[in-house]
């Protein structure tokens, strides 16, 4: 008989022999101040049973174990229930969702906002619902943007990372090709992450808005790694005052907002279209009320500058310390990618850090291009000075051991 199945063993062996196989490592976490700690009575392997300082979480404000956020989730569970029970358009719409969306719209300076079950679902649902003819996409945009473009079946023009000149050239070239043809009225969407997860870079948003206006295109931003960290708990759009020039503000509730889920903020018409046409919204159970309530509370807390200030102080201290030591730290945000280059060196450095009680992952191909491996260091607002010093000391010792310093 023919074998029409899938040779998964071969696929896994190929990954293993290329040293590219990834593994889940379950941990029981005591989230306070970013420590992993031995589990109480659990069978899970906990990073060899040792405590470790975690500089590897997107819980940037450290709010996942904030009592007020926990209480908000608990209260939603006891009043509304743990699950939405149906899609929002059927019976899954609750006041908890409406509160979150009202608060998001206010933070983002938009008419309305809509909560999705994840940031991934928000990107895929929004791009497919807009049905753009052409998407201009930064080469390092998140996979959910790439997948949204694929599913939308649009033409995707990839421009150089954070390179407004490259975007300008792509727009000019496309405009010239379209001129005088049936494509003259095609719809164009420029999509970019604002803070890039693996590079810590920040998109040149003002220049992108200038270009969008020159060519009549819309701008859509993914603020997954920025939401909650800038003025009034907003993202880069708020930091740069670009609310009136960005048509689609999207993000996740799962990073600084300490929860799970995604959102889109924009005009009344945009949200109404998404409610009707975003298939990942229409055909998916509403966001769990517990997640919505936790995100609402975290967003509320992120409005206070003192929570955010602590994060930025830790970021400055760590970047400065690493650079003084001689490491090259990429980017311009709270994400501190420490450039290593060779993937084996990056793995050795991550192991060396781990042996000294610091968890920060080696990022290598295919996540980043070959030869640009790095350690992705993410401080949190809840790390204190001594945590940052311990992290720096671990980098100094492990860096010397691997021969990088």
Q: Which residues bind ligand PMP (CB under 6 A)?
A: 118-120, 123, 142, 144, 193, 197, 222, 224-225, 252, 254, 262
Cα-based distances in Å from 203 to 15, 52, 195, 318, 380: 33, 33, 7, 22, 22
Is 142 assigned a catalytic role?
no
| Catalytic entry in 225, 280, 296, 302 | 225
User: Which residues fall within 8 angstroms of residue 282, CB to CB, at 6 or more apart?
Assistant: 87, 89, 275, 276
- 8 A C-beta contact, residue 135 and residue 154: yes
Whether the CB-CB separation of 245 and 109 falls below 8 Å is answered with no
Comparing CA positions, the residue from 342, 359, 367 lying closest to residue 394 is 359
Minimal distance in Å, beta carbon 255 to ligand PMP? 7
Q: How far is the CB of 94 from ligand PMP (least distance, A)?
A: 20
- Shorter beta-carbon distance to ligand PMP: residue 229 or 398: 229
Closer to ligand PMP by Cβ: residue 46 or 288: 288
Query: Which one, 4 or 22, has the nearer CB to ligand PMP?
Result: 22
Question: Among residues 197, 302, 333, 373, which one is catalytic?
Answer: 197
Task: Pick the catalytic residue from 97, 108, 142, 255.
Answer: 255
- Shortest distance, CB of residue 261 to ligand PMP, whole angstroms? 7
- Least Å distance, CB 343 to ligand PMP, is 21
Choose between 107 and 197: whose C-beta lies nearer to ligand PMP: 197
- In angstroms, the CA 170 to CA 157 distance is 7
Cβ-based nearer residue to ligand PMP, 193 or 199: 193
Q: Is 225 a catalytic residue?
A: yes
Q: Kindly state the smallest distance separating residue 286's Cβ from ligand PMP, in Å.
A: 15
CA distances in angstroms from 109 to 8, 104, 214, 267, listed in the order given: 48, 8, 23, 10
Q: List Cα–Cα distances, 153 to 52, 134, 149, 164, in angstroms.
A: 45, 9, 6, 25
Indicate if the alpha-carbon torsion angle 372, 375, 379, 385 is positive or negative. Answer: negative
For the annotated catalytic residues, the residue numbers are: 197, 225, 255
């Amino acid at each position: 008989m023919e074998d029409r199945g899938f040779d998964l063993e071969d696929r896994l062996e190929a990954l293993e022999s290329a040293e590219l196989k990834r593994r889940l490592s379950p941990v029981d976490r005591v989230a306070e101040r970013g420590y992993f700690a031995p589990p109480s009575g659990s069978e899970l392997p906990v990073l060899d049973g040792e405590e470790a300082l975690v500089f590897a979480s997107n819980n940037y404000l450290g709010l996942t174990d904030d009592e007020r956020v926990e209480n908000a989730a608990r209260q939603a569970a006891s009043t509304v229930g743990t699950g939405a029970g149906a899609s929002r358009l059927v019976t899954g719409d609750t006041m908890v969702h409406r509160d979150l969306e009202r608060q998001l719209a206010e933070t983002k300076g938009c008419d309305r906002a809509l909560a999705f079950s994840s940031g991934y679902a928000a990107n895929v649902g929004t791009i497919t619902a807009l049905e753009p003819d052409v998407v201009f996409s930064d080469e390092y945009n998140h996979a959910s943007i790439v997948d949204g473009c694929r599913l939308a079946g649009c033409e995707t023009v990839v421009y150089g990372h954070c390179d407004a000149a490259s975007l300008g050239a792509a727009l000019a070239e496309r405009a010239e090709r379209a001129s005088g043809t049936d494509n003259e009225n095609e719809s164009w969407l420029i999509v970019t992450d604002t803070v890039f997860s693996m590079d810590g870079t920040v998109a040149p948003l003002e220049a992108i808005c200038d270009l969008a206006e020159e060519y009549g295109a819309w701008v859509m931003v993914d603020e997954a790694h920025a939401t909650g960290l800038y003025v009034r708990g907003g993202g880069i759009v708020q930091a740069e005052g670009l609310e009136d020039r960005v048509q689609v503000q999207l993000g996740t509730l799962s990073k600084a907002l300490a929860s799970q889920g995604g959102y889109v903020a924009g005009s009344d018409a945009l949200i109404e279209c998404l409610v009707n046409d975003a298939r990942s919204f229409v055909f998916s159970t509403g966001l769990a009320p517990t997640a919505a309530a936790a995100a609402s509370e975290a967003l509320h807390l992120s409005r206070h500058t003192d929570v955010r200030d602590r994060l930025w102080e830790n970021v400055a201290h760590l970047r400065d310390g690493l650079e003084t030591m001689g490491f090259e730290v990429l980017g311009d945000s709270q994400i501190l990618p420490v450039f290593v280059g060779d993937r084996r060196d990056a793995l050795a450095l991550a192991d060396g850090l781990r042996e000294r009680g610091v968890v920060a992952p080696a990022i290598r191909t295919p996540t980043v291009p070959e030869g640009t491996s790095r350690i992705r260091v993410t401080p949190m607002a809840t790390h204190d000075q001594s945590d940052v010093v311990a992290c720096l000391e671990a980098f100094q010792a492990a860096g010397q051991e691997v021969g990088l310093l």
